[in-house]
Amino acid sequence: MKDLMAAVLGCLLLLPTAVGAGKKKDAPAPISLPSEHWNESRTVGLRTPAEWTVRLEPGPPEVLETRGDGLIVRVLRREGEIGLDSLHVECMLVRLAPPMDTFPQVDYEYDFLGGQMDERRALDSVFVVHYDAPVEGYRDWRQRNLTVVGEGESVCVIAYAPVLVWKKSKPARNLLTSVVESIRF
């Protein structure tokens, strides 16, 4: 009886694979990011859709902020190589509202994943911040922090998306990921 149950269970587990075999999944259409934006010192740039707005602030830290389609990307840049862990933590505190206007605890999707970008060291974290009052119509925002240190500079890329938009809109997820992945040094 156990052997029969194991065989049935095995077949059921393989069923989705067999049913989908031979079918081609539609690849997402490439996202158009025609506009290129650089920070004040022209050392860090990214690409966005043409209709996104841009705000630049001289530093330190230099700020390049882009907004569009309900999404926000901030790039903070400092001269010199600051400690990767400490800078990552500092950038995780860059929120859309002051600390007293946010719930003190965040919900982590993942935290402190390390890696390399060319000769630069990187850390990546994603979490949800709960705001006391709605920010641009939403109280819960997904925040991704990508911190990169090396080559004489320290950079934080902070991507914000309303949780509801992130969960329900694959095009919004693809767009925000494409903007973040367009970062160039």
CATH number of the structural domain spanning residue 151: 3.40.1000.10
User: Would you say residue 176 lies in a domain?
Assistant: yes
User: Would you say residue 49 lies in a domain?
Assistant: yes
User: Would you say residue 111 lies in a domain?
Assistant: yes
Query: Rounded to whole angstroms, how far apart are CA atoms 183 and 46?
Result: 4
Given a cut of 50, is residue 74 above it in pLDDT? yes
User: Would you say residue 8 lies in a domain?
Assistant: no
User: Would you say residue 60 lies in a domain?
Assistant: yes
The number of CA neighbours under 13 Å toward the Cβ of 31 is: 19
User: Would you say residue 52 lies in a domain?
Assistant: yes
Which one, of 76, 72, 68, 81, lies nearest residue 41 by Cα?
76
- Domain residue limits at 57: 29-181
Query: Rounded to whole angstroms, how far apart are CA atoms 162 and 140?
Result: 6
The count of domains in the chain is 1
14-28 mean pLDDT: 48
User: Would you say residue 44 lies in a domain?
Assistant: yes
Please give the pLDDT value at position 172: 97
Please give the pLDDT value at position 26: 59
User: Would you say residue 14 lies in a domain?
Assistant: no
Which one, of 175, 152, 172, lies nearest residue 164 by Cα?
172
pLDDT, tens only, 81-127: 999 999 999 999 999 999 999 999 999 999 999 999 889 999 999 99
166-181 mean pLDDT: 96
